Amino acid sequence: MTHSGVSRRRRHSTRRRRARVRRVLLTTLVVLSLVLASGGWVGFRAWQARAHLLNAAGLARDLSVDVVGGDLPRAQRTLAALQEQADAARSATGDPGWWLGRRAPYVGDDLTAVRQIAVAVDDLARQAFPTLLRIDLASLVPRQGRLDLARLSGISAEVVAADRAVRETNARLAAVPTGDLVPQVRAALADLRGELGRLGELTSAADRGARLLPSLLGAGGPRRYLLVSQNLAELRATGGMFGAYAVIRAEGGRIRMEAQGAAGDLGTFDPPLKLDQETRRLWNDLPGIFPADVNLNPDFPAAAALYREMVRRRTGTEVDGVLAVDPVALSYLLGAIGPVPMPGSAVLSGSTAVRSLLSDSYRDLDATAQNAFFAAAASRVFTALFAKSVDPRALLTVLDRSITERRILFWSVHSDEQRVLADSQLAGRLPEQDTVPTVGVFLNDGSGAKLGYYLRFSAAVTVGECQPDGRRELRLRVTVRSTAPRAGLSGSVTGLALSGDPYTARTLVSVYSPTGGAVLGGRLDGRDTRMGSGVAGRRQVAVANVEVRPGATRTLEIPLLTGRTGAGTVELVHTPTVTPWTTQVVSAPSCDQ
Query: What gap in Å lies between CA 505 and CA 483, rounded to an integer?
Result: 10
Residue 230 DSSP SS3: strand
Helices (H) and strands (E) in the chain, counts: 18, 19
User: Residue 280, Cβ neighbours under 10 Å: how many?
Assistant: 16
- As a dihedral over the C-alpha atoms of residue 40, residue 44, residue 49, residue 54, rounded to 10 degrees, the angle is 130
Q: What is the pLDDT of residue 70?
A: 62
- Cα separation, 267 vs 16, in Å, equals 104
Residue 162 CA, chain-centre distance (Å), reads 19
Pairing of strands 321-325, 408-412: antiparallel
Give the residue ranges of DSSP H helices in 124-264.
Answer: 129-134, 149-154, 156-174, 183-216
pLDDT of residue 35: 35
Query: At a CB cut-off of 8 Å and minimum separation 6, what does 388 contact?
Result: 337, 338
Reduced to 3 states, what is the DSSP secondary structure of residue 588?
coil
Q: What is the DSSP letter of 146?
A: B
pLDDT number for residue 155: 77
Terminal alpha carbon distance of the chain: 66
C-alpha–C-alpha distance, residues 423 and 200, integer Å = 13
Q: Is 362 exposed, middle or buried (0-12, 13-18, 19+ CB in 10 A)?
A: buried
Specify the pLDDT at position 461.
98
pLDDT value of residue 24: 43
pLDDT tens per residue across all 593 residues of the chain: 554 554 555 555 555 544 444 444 433 333 333 333 333 444 444 556 566 666 766 776 677 666 656 677 888 888 888 788 778 877 777 766 566 656 666 556 666 777 777 777 778 778 777 877 777 666 667 776 677 787 777 777 777 887 888 788 778 777 777 666 657 656 666 766 776 676 676 677 777 777 888 889 888 899 999 999 999 999 999 999 998 899 999 998 888 888 888 888 999 999 999 999 999 999 999 999 999 999 999 999 999 999 999 999 999 999 999 999 999 999 999 999 999 998 777 899 999 999 999 999 988 888 778 877 887 888 788 778 877 777 777 787 788 889 989 999 999 999 999 998 888 899 999 999 998 999 999 999 999 999 999 999 999 999 999 999 999 999 999 999 999 999 999 999 999 999 999 999 999 999 999 999 999 999 999 999 999 999 999 999 999 999 999 999 999 999 999 999 988 999 999 999 999 999 999 999 888 76
- Strands 408-412 and 347-348, bridge-based pairing: unpaired
Give the pLDDT score at 39: 39
| Domains of the chain, earliest start first | 21-216 (no CATH), 223-419 (3.40.630), 433-586 (no CATH)
